[in-house]
Amino acid sequence: MQTKSIFLVAIVLLLSAWSNATTVFGKDKSTMNKEDIKTIVASLQQNSAADQHQRIEKGVNQAAALWQADDGSMEDFAAFCMEYNAKNAAERKAIFERMQENFELLWGSYNKMSVGLKIPLHVDEGEILPIDRIFGGYSPGAHLSADFFANKLAFITILNFPHFSLSEKTVLSDKWSRLEWAYARMGDIFTSRIPAELIQNYAQLSTDADAYISDYNIYMGNLRNDKNKSLFPDDLKLITHWGLRDELKSQYANKDGLEKQAIIYEVMKRIISQEIPLEVINNNEYLWNPSTNSLVKDGATMRYTFEPNTRYQHLLNLHEALKAIDKFSPNAPSYIQRQFDESMEIPVDDVEDLFIELLSSPVLKDIAKIIETRMGRKLQPWDIWYDGFKTRSSLDMDKIDAVLEAKYPDKTAFEADLPHILIKLGFPEDTAFLLASRITVDPSRGAGHAWGAAMKGDKARLRTRIGADGMDYKGYNIAIHEFGHNVEQTISLYDIDYYMLNGVPNTSFTEALAFAFQARDLELIDMEVENKEAAYLAALDQMWSNYEIMGVSLVDIKVWKWLYANPGADAEGLKLAVNGIAKEVWNTYFAKVFGIKDSPILAVYSHMIDNPLYLSAYPIGQLIEFQFGTYINDKDFADEVYRAFKQGRVIPQRWMIGAVGEPISVKPMIDAATEAVKAMQ
């Protein structure tokens, strides 16, 4: 769940030059008028087959809307349309096939270059040099859009493969063939003209934010409680927030875990409020009591400096970079609209409605009571991450760590085992080895992520943390999640009928398969506990997990709405707003369940800082995984994975209907949790 998948780390940076918004430039920049366009359309239709007439009208109008004075006169535009318009279906298909072949070469090469340039930043192999951040921030494809408008290839694409809005795709989705869907996705490429310097600026700022998060570690052995006692191993270093959260979750199985959880919570609050001493970030020279915020070195209390709102400055920088692009996307003039209406292809209001429906469910209070009974205490804010419904919560994690460290002493051992993991999941041996041969494993500087290939012949990358003693459970759990991403990325590239349909509708769908893999992690090492209540426990776990991440995602959405409503805000103002919004969401949907008000914990997620509005992909992914997992429960796992993910990048609701026969909904999860509560009672 903690991955930063390919869809934001790489492909979005490469394709951000053409956000899916139809840009209509002002009349002063256009050489066209309505009568000119009508004349051109009529002339093309007269010389083309009847089945091309509707497409011609749409394509000419969209191309004209993007044609500027520098591109040529009205006569130049008319001559261009006459020369490059496909006169019949055969000509159009020939253009399509050549274009998709070339786009695969271009995007795949750009992606491969971007992966290589970021290796020093992402892979734990040697020192990061100052120049590495500059190389890593370079976006190889940043100028492609401008170049293709200049050489007219963008206009050829628009003319022959016009863009369809989400509402049009929704209406037409049942009628389109696979080829027509591929044509529509080609029509999504060139729909705006964003200056390359704005794309490059965002790429650099995104890399900077990612580096900030990746290097944000806390030395847990240096933490001290109010009795000046250390609670954690001296060599334990955890990245925020993922490492802190996962350590907190692991403590549910330990008798003395409550005190450790409480001190981790104090660390998180200091990070959110930016009252964390700058001296304890990625530094083991000081002893720190996060409760009193006192710092000690060599037995002496030290003065320190708060982190100077760096966390929120990175978020503000990304907002300003994306806001600069808004004016080039007038049909979706905010990043919120582009991210939901066009990237996710689910409107933000629909997403919020789904989240609020689940967050408001009465069954959550019943689940809370069950958790309190199982823990023997009242809920605390960090119990949003309660892990006790998983069978692993009753296992000896030290034993599991020992097994994994022996099994996977380094990345080579884990990579060699990938085909056997797939075989254990039900994939045929030849398929398993073929899939695994297209994936490579790297030791990660951060918590871990998956980065897919963008052309056949290249490999997907799986990054996970592997310690000096081998892979522990935290690294393994993340690695299995990322492996799910890699399998999706590989199937939806190599096994798709048209390259333009490669991938999934949005990042939630790749998260769905990653979650499905992750849920089977202990099963893969023969350590899953058999439990007759397992199905009920899983339903409660899914509901509680979504409760947490939907709350976090609502905070993320509300923060971005605040940013747009408050132009000119500084990092201090943003910090106060984020803390206020987190408490507001908590008080609305969590306080009545937890019996505690004003917790800021929902603002701790690192993705909020380095991956703008990505968080909603997780809960949507969990909903999809739950529906998909329930549907295939009595079916062959590998066969169903192939069947569903070979659909490629159609719109989300069309994909879901094809996969499970119904659209995305929270109702199945709520119903399953309600049934589980009754059974547990």
On the question of pLDDT at 252 being above 50, the answer is: yes
pLDDT score of 72 more than 50: yes
Give the pLDDT confidence of 395-424 residue by residue, as tens digits.
Answer: 788 899 999 999 999 999 999 999 999 999
CA neighbor of 137 nearest in space, from 122, 157, 155, 152: 122
Same domain, 43 and 182: yes
pLDDT of residue 193: 85
CA 248, CA 257: separation in Å to the nearest integer?
A: 8
Q: What is the DSSP letter of 602?
A: G
Please say whether the beta carbons of 360 and 550 come within 8 A. no
87-120 pLDDT, tens digit per residue, is 999 999 999 999 999 999 999 999 999 999 999 9
What is the overall mean pLDDT for the chain? Answer: 91
Question: pLDDT of 429-477, one tens digit each?
Answer: 999 999 999 999 999 888 788 999 999 999 999 998 888 899 999 899 9
Are 288 and 145 members of one domain? no
Give the range of the structural domain holding residue 463, as residue numbers without chain letter. Answer: 396-524
Residue 10 is predicted with a pLDDT of 36
**pLDDT band per the 50, 70, 90 thresholds, residue 532:** low
Residue 538: pLDDT over 70: yes
Helix, strand or coil, per DSSP, at residue 30: coil
User: Which of 524, 555, 584 represents a domain boundary (last residue)?
Assistant: 524
378 with 402, same domain? no
> Does 204 fall in a domain?
no
The dihedral over CA atoms of 632, 636, 638, 640, expressed in degrees to the nearest 10, equals -40
Backbone angles phi, psi at 351, to 5 degrees: -65, -45
Residues 331 and 454 occupy one common structural domain: no
* Calpha distance 178→650 (Å, rounded): 9
Amino acid sitting at position 331: N
pLDDT tens track for 221-251: 999 999 999 999 999 999 999 999 999 999 9
Q: Is the same domain home to 22 and 129?
A: yes
Q: Which residue among 195, 224, 239 closes a domain?
A: 195
pLDDT of residue 446: 80
- Model-level pTM? 0.77
Q: Establish if 210 belongs to a structural domain.
A: no
Residues 291 and 178 in one domain: no
Nearest to 515 by CA among 392, 621, 443: 621
Strand partners, 281: 218
Query: Which of 324-338, 518-532, 626-640 bottoms out in mean pLDDT, i.e. has the lowest?
Result: 518-532
Residue 596 or residue 2, greater confidence: 596
Confidence at residue 31, expressed as pLDDT on a 0 to 100 scale: 55
Q: Among 144-158, 188-202, 653-667, where is mean pLDDT lowest?
A: 188-202
Q: Select from 538, 435, 556 the least CA-distant residue to 484.
A: 435
- The DSSP output letter for 78 is H
From the CA atom positions of the chain, what is the Rg in Å? 26
DSSP assignment of 118-138: HHHHHB-SSPPPHHHHHHHH-
Question: Residue 15: its pLDDT value, please?
Answer: 36
CA distance 537 to 673: 9
Quick check: is 466 in a domain? yes
What's the mean pLDDT in 128-154?
93
What 8-state DSSP symbol labels residue 338? I
Note whether 285 and 341 are same-domain residues.
no
* Residue 299 belongs to a domain: yes
- Look at residue 639 and tell me if it is in a domain: yes
207 falls within a domain: no
What average pLDDT does the segment 670-674 reach? 96
Tell which residue, 32, 99, 98, 94, has the closest CA to residue 62.
32
* Under 8 Å between Cβ of 37 and 61: yes
- Measured CA to CA, the distance from residue 550 to residue 351 in angstroms comes to 10
* Mean pLDDT for the stretch of residues 321-344: 88
3-state SS, 188-254, equals CCCCCCCCHHHHHHHHHHHHHHHHHHHCCEEEHHHECCCCCCCCCCCCCEEECCHHHHHHHHHHHHC
Per-residue confidence (pLDDT) for residue 593, from 0 to 100: 98
Statement: residue 24 has pLDDT above 70: no
Q: Is the pLDDT of residue 81 over 90?
A: yes
How many angstroms separate the Cα of 389 from the Cα of each of 275, 531, 549?
34, 11, 17
Q: Is the pLDDT assigned to residue 5 strictly greater than 70?
A: no
DSSP 294: E
Query: SS3 of 440, please?
Result: strand
The answer to whether residue 216 scores a pLDDT higher than 80 is yes
426 contacts 636 by C-beta, under 8 angstroms: yes
Sequence-separated contacts (24+) of 207-210 with Cβ below 8 Å: 207/118, 207/121, 207/133, 207/136, 207/137, 208/133, 208/137, 208/314, 208/317, 209/314, 209/315, 209/317, 209/318, 209/609, 209/610, 210/4, 210/9, 210/121, 210/446, 210/610
Residue 638: pLDDT over 70: yes
Based on the structure, what is the number of domains in the chain?
4
Instruction: Encode pLDDT of 264-275 as tens digits.
Output: 999 999 999 999
CA distance 531 to 518: 18
Q: Are residues 52 and 189 in the same domain?
A: yes
- In this prediction, residue 199 has a pLDDT band, given cuts at 50, 70 and 90, of confident
Query: Is 10 part of any domain?
Result: yes
Q: Is the pLDDT of residue 8 over 50?
A: no
Number of neighbours of residue 631 by Cβ within 10 angstroms: 17
Cα–Cα dist 590/383, whole Å: 11
Instruction: Please state, for a pLDDT cut of 70, what percent of the chain lies above it.
Output: 94
The reply to whether omega before 122 is within 30° of 0 (cis) is: no
Residue 247 near residue 385 (C-beta atoms within 8 A): no
Distance (Å, rounded) from C-alpha 462 to C-alpha 452? 8
Residue 333's pLDDT is what? 86
Based on the domain organization, do 38 and 184 belong to the same domain?
A: yes
429 and 502, same domain (yes or no): yes
| Tokens (6 digits) for 483 | 């492996």
E strand or H helix at 297, and its extent? strand 294-297
Pair (496, 571) in one structural domain: no
Q: Residue 288 pLDDT more than 50?
A: yes
Confidence of residue 13 (pLDDT cuts 50, 70, 90): very low
Looking at residue 351, its pLDDT comes to 95
Classify residue 1: in a domain, yes or no.
Answer: no
Last residue of a domain, one of 502, 524, 546: 524
468 and 539 belong to one structural domain: no
Question: What pLDDT is stored for residue 23 in this prediction?
Answer: 34
pLDDT at residue number 21: 31
* pLDDT value, residue 507: 84
Are β-strands 439-443 and 300-301 bridged in parallel, bridged antiparallel, or unpaired?
unpaired
